[in-house]
Amino acid sequence: MLVVMDTHAGEDQVNAVCDEIRNMGLTPHPMPGAQRTAIGITGNKGAVEASRIEQMIGVVRVIHVTAPYKLVSREFHEEDSAVHVGDVMFSKQNFTIIAGPCAVESAQQIDEVAAHLKAHGAHMLRGGAFKPRTSPYSFQGLGETGLKLMQETGKRHGLPVVTEAVDRESLQLVEKYGDMIQIGARNMQNFSLLRDAGRSRKPVLLKRGMSATLEELLMAAEYIVNEGNPNVVLCERGVRTFADHTRNTLDLSAIPFVQRTSHLPIIADPSHGTGRREKVIPLSCASVAVGADGIIVEVHPHPDQAMSDGPQSLFPDQFVELMRQISVIAGVVNRTLIQEPQPKAV
Ligand code: PEP
Ligand code: MN
């Protein structure tokens, strides 16, 4: 449920409504907006006795939120949310490019690619140190050593770092060394990990599970936000279908659907979404055109030697071409690739 306050409602009136909600054994979530304050209510098992709140001073109306997700829904929060990672901002005006190898493999590999990516306009650096691999015999990542390399390299090149956490222990390390926590497709419904990420102060990149519906994706985001971390960016990374010409089917229709039902930013991952490097540029262009708030792409200095996801990793030159193409399309859809340091909203 959502309580809409009058534009002139003062802080004392908002506080009184919050107290009343608490008296009812529920949790209030005040959301100050440009025009007026709204107060979300969670914690109810059934219908809430709306009349108790409706009659309070300063209350305009009480809306029943129909979606199963509350805090991440547009019904709760009408305006688009922006998520800040250092000076980088995921928002409707920007188009944010996260690039880097699937996995950090060595100091030289990550430094070489980061220098190239920064020089050609990437905003953030990706690279996993904890890799969820299908086979236990495949390269599992460099662990803490890899995270230190990511942190040093990101700082050296002025690129905030996003890197994956796969369990509670790795989450603590990612929080320490990274700027943004990635929750991967395989862990989208690891509810204890989602709760832990929700207690973190670092922003979270939440990837869609490979057979998750959009409702499930938004419910997963709800777990994080419900623990007190509002800084969640969603990611469409392709789903399993009958199609075998690509690794996954990048479901670009998810982008406008999510944007209609949720206020959270959403980006696309054309690398995992296709699994084929020659498809990454066209699907990146399509992601911009469809209204995504950014992309995350895999780029390796020597993709043929990559320890994971080589076939979908771009050659450095291809990243330059990708930037050239998407900058043209970004202009058409009123997005800028330039990230000005933004003051944080309070
Ligand atoms: C990755 O980003 O390298 C990754 C493992 O992605 P996903 O969780 O989408 O498979
Ligand atoms: Mn990968």
Task: Work out how many domains the chain is built from and give that number.
Answer: 2
Say if strands 294-298 and 204-207 run parallel, antiparallel, or are unpaired: unpaired
The reported pLDDT for the residue numbered 345 is 56
For residues 243 and 120, membership in a common domain is answered with yes
Smallest Cα–Cα separation from 159: which of 85, 255, 103, 108? 85
Ligand 1 centre distance from Cα of residue 54 (Å): 46
The reported pLDDT for the residue numbered 31 is 86
Domain extent, residue 256, equals 83-332
For residues 17 and 97, membership in a common domain is answered with no
Ligand 1 proximity of 128 Cβ (cutoff 6 Å): yes
For residues 51 and 143, membership in a common domain is answered with no
Q: Locate the ligand 1 atom nearest the alpha carbon of residue 128 and give its number.
A: 3
Q: Which ligand is nearest to the CA of 312?
A: 2
The reported pLDDT for the residue numbered 342 is 62
Q: Which protein residue has the closest C-alpha to ligand 1 atom 5?
A: 184
For residues 59 and 170, membership in a common domain is answered with no
For residues 33 and 96, membership in a common domain is answered with no
Ligand 1 proximity of 185 Cβ (cutoff 6 Å): yes
Q: Which protein residue has the closest C-alpha to ligand 1 atom 6?
A: 184
Looking at residue 11, which CATH number applies to its domain? 3.30.70.1140
The reported pLDDT for the residue numbered 46 is 77
User: Interior CA angle at 81 toward 126 and 154, to 5°?
Assistant: 20
Of 207, 249, 298, which is best to mutate to test ligand 1, by the most ligand atoms within 8 angstroms of its C-beta? Answer: 207
- Euclidean distance between CA atoms 244 and 203, whole angstroms: 34
DSSP 8-state symbol, 5: E
pLDDT tens over the chain, length 346 residues: 899 999 899 999 999 999 999 999 999 999 887 778 889 998 887 777 889 999 999 999 998 887 889 999 998 888 999 999 999 999 999 999 999 999 999 999 999 999 999 999 999 999 999 999 999 999 999 999 999 999 999 999 999 999 999 999 999 999 999 999 999 999 999 999 999 999 999 999 999 999 999 999 999 999 999 999 999 999 999 999 999 999 999 999 999 999 999 999 999 999 999 999 999 999 999 999 999 999 999 999 999 999 999 999 999 999 999 999 999 999 999 999 999 876 655 5
Domain boundary among the residues 35, 63, 91 is at 63
Q: Locate the ligand 1 atom nearest the alpha carbon of residue 132 and give its number.
A: 5
Q: Locate the ligand 1 atom nearest the alpha carbon of residue 237 and give its number.
A: 9
The reported pLDDT for the residue numbered 33 is 77
- Euclidean distance between CA atoms 199 and 323, whole angstroms: 35
Smallest Cα–Cα separation from 339: which of 33, 102, 100, 98? 98
Ligand 1 proximity of 184 Cβ (cutoff 6 Å): yes
Q: Is residue 343 part of a domain?
A: no
Q: Which ligand is nearest to the CA of 237?
A: 1
Ligand 1 centre distance from Cα of residue 179 (Å): 17
Of 125, 239, 269, which is best to mutate to test ligand 1, by the most ligand atoms within 8 angstroms of its C-beta? Answer: 269
Q: Locate the ligand 1 atom nearest the alpha carbon of residue 187 and give its number.
A: 8
Q: Is residue 92 part of a domain?
A: yes
The residues near 333 (Cβ < 8 Å, ≥ 6 apart) are 288, 289, 291
Q: Which protein residue has the closest C-alpha to ligand 1 atom 3?
A: 102
Q: Is residue 76 part of a domain?
A: no
What pTM does this model have? 0.93
What 3-state DSSP class applies to 294? strand
Q: Which ligand is nearest to the CA of 308?
A: 2
- Euclidean distance between CA atoms 179 and 203, whole angstroms: 7
The reported pLDDT for the residue numbered 47 is 76
Smallest Cα–Cα separation from 48: which of 14, 21, 75, 15? 21
Burial of 32 (0-12, 13-18, 19+ CB in 10 A): middle
Q: Locate the ligand 1 atom nearest the alpha carbon of residue 308 and give its number.
A: 3
Of 124, 237, 307, which is best to mutate to test ligand 1, by the most ligand atoms within 8 angstroms of its C-beta? Answer: 237
Ligand 2 centre distance from Cα of residue 304 (Å): 14
For residues 54 and 131, membership in a common domain is answered with no
Q: Is residue 345 part of a domain?
A: no
- Euclidean distance between CA atoms 219 and 166, whole angstroms: 19
For residues 145 and 110, membership in a common domain is answered with yes
For residues 181 and 251, membership in a common domain is answered with yes
DSSP string, 26-87: -EEEEEE-SS-EEEEEE--SS---THHHHTSTTEEEEE---SS--TTBTTT--SPP-EEETT
Ligand 1 proximity of 237 Cβ (cutoff 6 Å): yes
